[in-house]
């Protein structure tokens, strides 16, 4: 009997605190060498918005951590699927920085965030194995790929895959790139479904490039040279990442789609990691150019305008919002083929082709 890996439930948690671009007007932004920018903040912010598309972003309240956000999203996914939580075989949780509490300079990953979520879900079954993965922004999609492997090998029937992050806790306030990052969580239940139905994961592709690309995203000191603390913040080589994404993500998407046996004209939606609007648009154009096709209208839903870049949470959150028809002019219907793709620290890329 054929076994398909089917997403039977989704959930997301969008934090309550809204930070608009205008709230950065009084901030002090510095160059990497600590010198001030030659432009006023209103010009810096307008240029930032024109490139990234971000108008506002969401931050978690001070009483919540990444594992809390992941728990909220997981609860919704379990309820949406209708399964008994005690029948979950694996909890795979993707993050990058662990639980970072307000006022702390340390990341807390003892115990793992997946174990914390299992604890908060009050799952008693010891055979429900919970673990974390670190794969940069593509972490949640990589968790989906791992769940598919468990299901196809026969060792699992139900997996909970979570992506959760509080990037607002690891940003340098003197770095203008700090305006990109946000907090959030998304989750799904993937089940083994027997039968000849077409729904499920059709194929995937992934890569890690580390020769020249390893440190395009890294931990670095504040741009404020008067800061003598030993605190490190998330830093990135934006131009390098843009070029890397443009050169590699379309090829990964094509590799996955070609393996699936599905034609490009049958792809209804593409859920790309919400890193940068201009980059995502460029990736999409290059992907369709590989097939000598124009980009269809409404094929790429976007949430970055209001939610910012929440790393591992962007794709599952976006998928959940479209599934719930909470994004204008966007919906998915039974039988639709979608592609999920991401790029991030490592440098890592991946793509999954899925029939809804």
Q: How is residue 83 written in tokens?
A: 């399964």
- Asked if pLDDT for residue 346 goes beyond 80, the answer is yes
Nearest Cα residue to 310 out of 121, 180, 133: 180
Percent of the chain with pLDDT over 90: 93
Give the chain's mean pLDDT.
95
Q: Contact, 307 vs 184, CB < 8 A?
A: yes
Quote the longest CA-to-CA distance of the chain.
66
Beta pairing, strands 158-166 & 90-94: parallel
Length of the chain: 356
CA angle 318, 332, 302 (to 5 degrees): 30
Q: How confident is the model at residue 324 (pLDDT cuts 50, 70, 90)?
A: very high
pTM score: 0.95
Query: What is the pLDDT, as a whole number, of residue 105?
Result: 72
- CA 186 to CA 201: how far, in whole Å? 18
* Statement: residue 197 has pLDDT above 80: no
Crossing angle, helix 139-153 and helix 314-323, to 10 degrees?
A: 80
Q: Identify the structural domains of the chain with CATH numbers, from first to last.
A: 3-194 (3.40.47.10), 200-355 (3.40.47.10)
> HEC string of the chain?
CCEEEEEEEEEEECCCEEEEHHHHCCCCCECCCCCECCCCHHHHHHHHHHHHCCCEEEECCCCCCHHHHHHHHHHHHHHHHCCCHHHCCEEEEECCCCECCCCCCCCECCCCHHHHHHHHHCCCCCCCEEEEECCCCCHHHHHHHHHHHHHHHCCCCEEEEEEEEEHHHCCCCCCHHHHCECEEEEEEEEEEEECCCCCEEEEEEEEECCCCCCCCEEEECCCCCCCCCCCCEEEECHHHHHHHHHHHHHHHHHHHHHHHCCCHHHEEEEEECCCCHHHHHHHHHHHHHCCCCCCCCCCCCCCHHHHCECHHHHHHHHHHHHHCCCCCCCCCCCCCEEEEEEEECCCEEEEEEEEC
- C-beta atoms surrounding 305 within 10 Å: 15
Nearest partner of 4 among 194, 219, 212, 149, judged by Cα: 194
Question: CB under 8 Å to 52, separation ≥6 — which residues?
Answer: 179, 180, 276, 277, 278, 304, 309
The alpha carbon of 173 is separated from its chain's Cα centroid by a whole number of angstroms, namely 22
Q: Look at residue 207 and tell me whether its pLDDT is greater than 80.
A: yes
* 351 strand-pairing partners: 205, 341
Q: Which of 187, 138, 190 is nearest to 159 (CA)?
A: 190
The confidence band for 236, taking pLDDT boundaries of 50, 70 and 90, is very high
Q: Tokens 């800061």 appear where?
A: 227
| Contact present, 78 and 10 (Cβ < 8 Å) | no
| Whether residue 343 has pLDDT greater than 90 | yes
How many beta carbons lie within 10 A of that of residue 255, not counting itself?
17
Q: What is the pLDDT of residues 240-284, one digit of tens each?
A: 999 999 999 999 999 999 999 999 999 999 999 999 999 999 999
Contact predicate 226/211, CB 8 Å: no
| pLDDT, tens digit, 9 for 90 and up, residues 126-137 | 999 999 999 999
Q: Tell me phi and psi for residue 148, to 5 degrees.
A: -60, -40
Q: Which two tokens stand for residue 171?
A: 């940003």
Q: What count of other Cβ atoms lies within 10 Å of the Cβ of residue 230? A: 7
pLDDT tens per residue, range 47-99: 999 999 999 999 999 999 999 999 999 999 999 999 999 999 999 999 999 99
């Amino acid at each position: 009997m054929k076994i398909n890996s089917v997403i039977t439930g989704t959930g997301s948690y969008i934090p309550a605190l809204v930070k608009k671009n205008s709230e950065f007007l009084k901030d002090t932004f510095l160059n990497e060498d600590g010198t001030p920018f030659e432009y006023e903040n209103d010009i810096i912010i307008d240029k930032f918005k024109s490139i990234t598309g971000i108008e506002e972003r969401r931050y978690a309240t001070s009483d919540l951590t990444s594992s809390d956000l992941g728990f909220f999203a997981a609860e919704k996914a379990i309820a949406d699927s209708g399964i008994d939580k005690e029948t979950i075989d694996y909890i795979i949780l993707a993050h990058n920085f662990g639980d970072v509490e307000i006022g702390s300079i340390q990341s807390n990953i003892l115990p793992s965030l997946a174990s914390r979520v299992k604890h908060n879900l009050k799952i008693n079954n010891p055979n429900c194995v919970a673990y974390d993965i670190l794969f940069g922004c593509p972490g949640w999609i990589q968790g989906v790929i791992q769940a598919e492997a468990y299901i196809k090998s026969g060792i699992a029937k139900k997996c909970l895959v979570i992506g959760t992050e509080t990037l607002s806790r690891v940003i340098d306030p003197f770095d203008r790139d700090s305006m990109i990052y946000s907090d959030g969580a998304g989750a799904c239940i993937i089940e083994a479904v027997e039968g000849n139905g077409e729904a499920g994961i059709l194929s995937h592709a992934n890569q890690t490039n580390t020769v020249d690309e390893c440190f395009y995203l890294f931990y670095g000191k504040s741009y404020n040279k008067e800061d003598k603390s030993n605190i490190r913040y998330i830093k990135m080589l934006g131009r390098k990442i843009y070029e890397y994404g443009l050169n590699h993500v379309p090829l990964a998407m094509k590799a996955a789609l070609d393996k699936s046996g599905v034609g490009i004209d049958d792809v209804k939606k593409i859920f790309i990691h919400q890193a940068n609007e201009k980059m995502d648009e460029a990736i999409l154009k290059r992907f369709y150019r590989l097939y000598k096709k124009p980009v269809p209208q409404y094929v790429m839903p976007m949430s970055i305008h209001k939610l910012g870049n929440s790393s591992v949470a962007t794709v599952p959150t976006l998928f959940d919002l479209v599934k719930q028809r909470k994004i204008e002019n966007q919906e998915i219907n039974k039988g639709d083929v979608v592609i999920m793709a991401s790029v991030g620290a490592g440098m890592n890329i991946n793509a999954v082709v899925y029939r809804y």
